[in-house]
Amino acid sequence: MTTLTREDYARLMEVRLRAPEEMRQALTTRRRRPLVGEDGNLLLVAADHTARGMLAVGTDPLAVADRFTLLERLTTALSQPEVDGVLASADVLEELAVLGMLDDRLAIGTMNRGGIIGADWELDDRLTAYDPAHVEEYGLDGGKLLLRLEDTDPGVAATIELAAALTTDLADRRLLCLIEPLPYLKDETGRARLDPSLERLVKAVAVASGLGASSAYSWLKLPVVPEMDVVAGATSMPILMLGGDPGTEAERVFGLWRNAMAMPNVRGLVAGRALLYPNDADVVGAIRTAADFVHPTGETS
């Protein structure tokens, strides 16, 4: 198992200071792999939270803030053979590439992270990270976009238009487009909150499925719910279940993930805090629990 050391981290900072071109080179020259293999499933670690200012886990508002700790947990996760890759912003992907952690792993670049958590404009999910041209230029395996739907915010229409354009552009380049459609509502203070309604989640799936001039390279990243048969039945697209922060309900959430894998188009999991910051701090244990149902035969894809 690979573990990040302080010496590794110091070397990374020296690269940033003295040889920044090596960051791009490390990413573009990494050893690539197919998107999926025999079992057709994927176990991805999500690390794009910081790009939207999301740093909290449980009651700790700065749990993800320390970059050494984040990279240490990511290198531990990516050294597990069952982990297929990582979803992250450019800073994290370049750091992992310099550390040599992306060979034979998928690298998915996050794209629209402009909706800073807690901001008045939080639902204005503008393009602030990768764009399709740079996803291709830097040798990434695909791009991920966030599509939050809220019925009273007029700015959401522009986000839908952006999402459609990104979907088309990635499809034209024959690159994965991982779409995360989420129904939102605003509480009495005007703050955006995830809508737990099954009906609106299914509606969001339908909207996301119809984006762009081609859906051939589109996958969906969706929250897991007890009625996953209804949600998965609303599309033929491959689905990766999202993680979030399960808090003290990790056992229940892992159980929902396990059950949802029975759906034919549910093809795995892309989770961040649930795998990187579990309550017991056992990253390897969380990865192996997830791998038991994502790659049940022990084969990675």
Contact call for residues 200 and 183 (beta carbons, < 8 A): yes
pLDDT value, residue 66: 97
pLDDT value, residue 109: 98
Average per-residue pLDDT in the chain? 95
Domains of the chain (ranges; CATH) run: 6-294 (3.20.20.70)
Burial class (CB in 10 A: 0-12, 13-18, 19+), 133: exposed
pLDDT value, residue 270: 97
Higher local confidence (pLDDT), 205 or 299: 205
pLDDT, tens digit, 9 for 90 and up, residues 85-135: 999 999 999 999 999 999 999 999 999 999 999 999 999 999 999 999 999
pLDDT, tens digit, 9 for 90 and up, residues 145-175: 999 999 999 899 999 999 999 999 999 999 9
pLDDT value, residue 1: 65
In 209-292, DSSP assigns E strands to: 218-222, 239-242, 266-271
**Facing residues of 57 across strands?**
60
pLDDT value, residue 197: 96
151-152-153-156 Cα dihedral, nearest 10 degrees: 20
pLDDT value, residue 206: 98
Percentage of residues of the chain with pLDDT beyond 90 = 90
pLDDT, tens digit, 9 for 90 and up, residues 233-289: 999 999 999 987 777 778 888 999 999 999 999 999 999 999 999 989 999 999 999
pLDDT value, residue 300: 56
**Facing residues of 219 across strands?**
178
Model confidence at 63: pLDDT above 60: yes
pLDDT value, residue 244: 72
pLDDT value, residue 249: 79
Model confidence at 301: pLDDT above 70: no
pLDDT value, residue 245: 74
Of 210, 124, 117, the residue nearest 168 (C-alpha):
210
Mean pLDDT calculated for residue range 72-83: 97
Q: How far apart are CA 62 and CA 214, in angstroms?
A: 40
pLDDT value, residue 298: 66
